[in-house]
Amino acid sequence: MPEGHVYVTRPMSPKVMQQAGELPIPLTVHADPDLPPAREQLLEDCRGATAIITMLTEKIDDKVMEAAGPGLKVIANVAVGYDNIDVEAAARRGIIVTNTPGVLDEATADLAFALILATVRRVAEADRFIRTARPWIWGPQSFIGLDVSAGATLGIVGLGRTGMAVARRANAFRMNIIATGSRASTPEAAELGVQPCNLDTLLRTSDVVSLHCPLTATNRHLIGAQQLAAMKAGSYLINTARGPLVDEEALADAVESGHLAGAGLDVHEFEPRVNNRLRSLENVVLLPHIGSAAAATRDSMGELAVRNVAAVLSGQAALTPVLPAGLKPDLLPTRG
């Protein structure tokens, strides 16, 4: 690999790649558009890199940073979540880490609400039924689901930017909305009718629980057997955040037992591997992590990552830096 290159771990759209190609140092791109680089390939390809533009599928840890060498200045993640990057290791090495907040909130919220409706109104299940070509006739008890606009309560776990966008959609459907997180007590949330509450209350009273919090070192299995048991009987769990927030074996137990009426997952605990028990359940909707998979949104994510790299390479502050726990913005490393 050439010294002083920008390594892109997955090719993005032609528009984004053209902009990346205008960066002031050479571009090296992993060739396979469908699969991430294998671990050894990743370590080899990033050698001598000044910048790494990466996706959530690549684990960028201390070993990768060591392989890149002392010239590595910035790691730009094309995602909001950055649990795939060892941020503390980057800070120790003076490497700036960036993400792409703000530009995918609406697309992810669209997908989250689509998943809510597909799950509670049994859309995917009914579609599969029709495709069997079995004879059928309309029936008064066929495919009965939840009336979201008839007083149903949506519980949003983690009312951040995406959670607020989901709340706007739920408000349009006249749902009751409760939420956890500091933003649940803001005037903006109050205008949407959001009622702040703790997680225990949210689980106990929601008809639909939707997860929108980041994955951290302390909240893996935030929703485990105990939390699922605390959920309202006949309710639904939706996850468009990160898979490991949910103990999927416990979720399968809760759905199989009938305690939960169903679940909708865009993300998976051991992604890309999907839990076989959940896969077998008709009342579980499973998607392949497509929350931000809208053309303009993916372009905006890639463009923001490229702009972050350009800023750091020119000696300016990153546009959207990720802060390690306990690090103040004025203590961020600067690299000329």
Q: Which of 271, 277, 307, 335 is catalytic?
A: 271
Tell me the backbone φ, ψ of residue 227, rounded to 5 degrees.
-70, -40
Short-list 257, 213, 216, CA closest to 239: 213
Q: Which of 5, 169, 289, 298 is catalytic?
A: 289
Pairing relation of β-strands 260-265 and 284-286?
parallel
Query: Which is catalytic among the residues 30, 242, 268, 298?
Result: 242
CB atoms within 10 A of CB 15: 13
* Contact (CB, 8 A) for 68 and 46: yes
- Residue at 248: amino acid letter: E
For this structure, is 256 an active site residue? no
- 61 closest CA partner among 93, 33, 28, 31: 93
* 244 cis-preceded (ω within 30 degrees of 0): no
Give one DSSP letter per residue of 23-52, joined into a string: SSS-EEE-S-SSSPPPHHHHHHHTTTEEEE
CB 123 within 8 A of CB 239: no
Residue with tokens 């203590």: 331
Output the CA torsion 291→84→333→219 (10° steps): 80
CA dist., res. 84 & res. 34, Å (int):
18
271 tagged catalytic? yes
Tell me the DSSP string of 214-230: PP-TT-TTSB-HHHHHH
Quick count: other Cβ atoms within 10 Å of Cβ 92? 13
- Report how far Cα 161 is from the mean position of its chain's Cα atoms: 12
**Amino acid identity at 59:** K
Report d(CA 68, CA 3) in Å as an integer.
9
What are the catalytic residues? Answer: 242, 271, 289
